[in-house]
A and B are shown apart, each in its own frame.
Chain A
Amino acid sequence: MAAKPAKIFRDPLYNYISIDRNAWLLNLLDTPEVQRMRRIHQLGVSSLTYPGADHNRLSHTMGVVHLMQQALEHLKKIQGKEDIDLARAPLLAAAMLHDVGHGPFSHLFEPCLGIDHEVWSVKIVNDPETQVHKVLKKVDGHLYQGVADLIDKQSTGDPAWRKALLSSQLDVDRMDYLRRDSLFSGAGYGHFDFYRILNSFEIHDGDLVWSEESKLAIEEYIFARYYMYQNVYLHKTTRGFEKMIEAMWRRAKALHDGKSDAGLVPALAEFWRAGPDATVRQYLRIEECTVLEQVQRWTDHADKPLADLARRFLERNRFIAIDAPRPDDGLAGSYTRWESALHEAVAKGGYDCVAAYCLKDEVKAKYNQPYFPEKENDQQSARNAIRVRAADDQRPVEISTVLGRLRPMTERPAASLVRYYLPGELRDKVQRLRNQWTPRS
């Protein structure tokens, strides 16, 4: 019987993505757990800042599968065919499933629900009741374990290069999302020569190493990552709405834990009631439509701060952002004095529940740094550092040693950024407070 032609998907980033029609990968794509990713925004609430950023997790997932296919084709040409063929099924399945555990609005709901999407991805793969598990089991009785190991950051069963291809400082996941998020947000910062990067690496001592010829493409990638974090992922308007959602959820959880009626929709009530024993089925029922219905419901809640936050969110009535002054003590990063002053301003402004109207946002320093070159040679691996090798040299070196332009960005990391979000009605008052703030001597 003649093989069917590959199934072709149109994609705005790669034009075409093809998946073999005879293969199980297409069956995996059609499972309800994978299709659920169509209903998860790739960039959470970034579309409140960038109206075009409405793309979903599934389109990113297909992009990752596409890049993984290309990376494996490249490796097959230059490495032993057998090794790569063995790795093909688990790597393609892991590419398809690495984000399957994401909750509503992607990373945004991790603090709200107290979850880690990777943990849920692994649970979904391992749960015999999911279609994902059934498809994998049909291919090979142990494939699901191999896939779960690849997704699970705690697992060490795989050769380093396999894990690094999926999750490291230069992997197919990042290569897709930087360019895709750039395209859909319209921000236009995520450009780099991904084709060269995907076609210029090898496996060296079990780890990924790039040819020195691709160093400028990698430099471009690192700068693209920096610009995307500064302009899109950490945009202050987006972060403000994220903090607002988190505050809403904290408020509701406090009501729920205090045995008050939090007005929960059934799926959420069930999930919170189950606590750490929540099942995969209970988790997967919490979708973005569940969350939006919940927020809509809260607009009429008897708890005033909760109802007010819910209305503000739906009406895109954003809080103002104000950068914190230098902390009083560099060693402890203490903002106690500044926070007390803000709390006083909020209370005087007529907001009784300070916790709902003075929202602290601390962006860890690592998110301001697009790439970490681990300094000591014996700490360097594909997961820790990007390494390149000149054609005439057997020894790979960390990339910033051959790219001086990277050093200002990697050797002097930006400090953590601390910002506070408050109701716009307090703008003049807090701006005055900030302008007149004197550091403690």
Chain B
Amino acid sequence: MQPYHLAKIIEWSPAGKLRSRKRMQKIIYLLQSAGCAAFDADFILHHYGPYSQDVAALTDQMVSGGLLLEKEEPNQSSGSVYSYRLSEAAKNSLEKFEGEETGKRMAAEMEAFRDSAVELLKADLKEVEYAATVIYFYRQRRDWDDAAGKTAKFKKIDRSNPALQRALKLARQFAN
């Protein structure tokens, strides 16, 4: 996974701002599950669904390299939340890169996942988190009912929880 791929997700975010590292993690996991080969991060499951140290490290690396602008914002439920925008340097670099041969090829690969990414960028964060978790379990047994049941148990929610039902529907779109 290259900085370019993460930059594209942020570029597609509403108003060019991606809010919450959790959303970033889950979107990359879901797009990877949908077959986006550019995302080759390793994920483990933790309390809040699939998590990748590769994604966390790349994000921090892009912030320290001046490609991403990071902002800490207060959040009622979890203390603080981080948001990300592309820096001017990253925007210029992106435009220049996509004019070149390699950039055109990589842009075409990413374009196929644009609509899916935009949908996830707008979706309710809790549902995105549940959907990623459902897919994580689905990949173990290829059984949606089993995956939904395990997610409910894992997240300590009721199996009939409406958010989980919507997440299950979302997950089905992204399982490859």
Contacts and interface: CB of A to CB of B under 8 A. Distances in A.
Interface of A: 153-154, 156, 160, 329-334, 336, 364-366, 369, 372, 374-379, 381, 383-384, 411-413, 415-416
A375 B97 contact: no
23 contacts: A154-B45, A154-B136, A156-B154, A331-B7, A331-B93, A331-B94, A332-B3, A332-B106, A336-B102, A364-B57, A365-B57, A365-B58, A365-B61, A374-B21, A374-B56, A375-B72, A375-B82, A376-B78, A376-B79, A377-B79, A378-B48, A379-B22, A413-B60
Given A154-B45, A377-B80, A378-B48, A331 B56 contact: no
B124 interface: no
Given A372-B56, A376-B22, 18 more contacts: A153-B44, A156-B154, A329-B97, A330-B67, A330-B93, A331-B2, A331-B97, A332-B2, A332-B4, A332-B97, A333-B3, A376-B21, A376-B79, A377-B78, A379-B51, A381-B46, A412-B64, A413-B57
Contacts of A376: 20-22, 78-82
Nearest to B53: A366
B54 interface: yes
Given A376-B20, A413-B57, A334 B102 contact: yes
B2 A333 contact: yes
Interface of B: 2-4, 7, 20-22, 25, 44-48, 51, 53-54, 56-58, 60-61, 64-65, 67, 72, 77-82, 90, 93-94, 97, 102-103, 106, 136-137, 140, 150, 154
A322 to B, nearest CB: 22
A156 B51 CA distance: 14
Say what secondary structure dominates the interface of chain B: helix
Contacts of B44: 153, 383
Given A372-B56, A376-B22, A413-B60, A331 B45 contact: no
B61 A413 contact: yes
Contact of B53 (A372, A377, A412): A372
Contact of B46 (A332, A375, A383): A383
Contact of A329 (B25, B72, B93): B93
A162 to B, nearest CB: 14
A317 B1 CA distance: 34
B64 to A, nearest CB: 5
A330 B65 contact: yes
Q: Which 10 A-B pairs have the closest CB atoms?
A: A378-B78, A377-B79, A331-B4, A366-B57, A377-B78, A412-B64, A365-B57, A381-B47, A332-B4, A413-B60
Nearest to A331: B4
Contacts of B58: 365
Contacts of B81: 376
Contacts of B54: 364, 366
B50 to A, nearest CB: 10
Contacts of A331: 2-4, 7, 67, 90, 93-94, 97
A169 B64 CA distance: 23
A333 to B, nearest CB: 5
Given A376-B22, A412-B64, A415-B61, A332 B102 contact: yes
Nearest to A378: B78
Contacts of A412: 60, 64
Contacts of B154: 156
A333 B20 CA distance: 25
A384 B22 contact: no
Contact of A411 (B47, B60, B94): B60
Contacts of B136: 154
Nearest to B67: A330
Contacts of B72: 375
B25 to A, nearest CB: 8
A416 B46 CA distance: 25
A364 B47 CA distance: 25
A224 to B, nearest CB: 19
Contacts of A416: 61
Contacts of B25: 379
A337 to B, nearest CB: 11
Contacts of B150: 156
A412 B59 CA distance: 11
B96 to A, nearest CB: 8
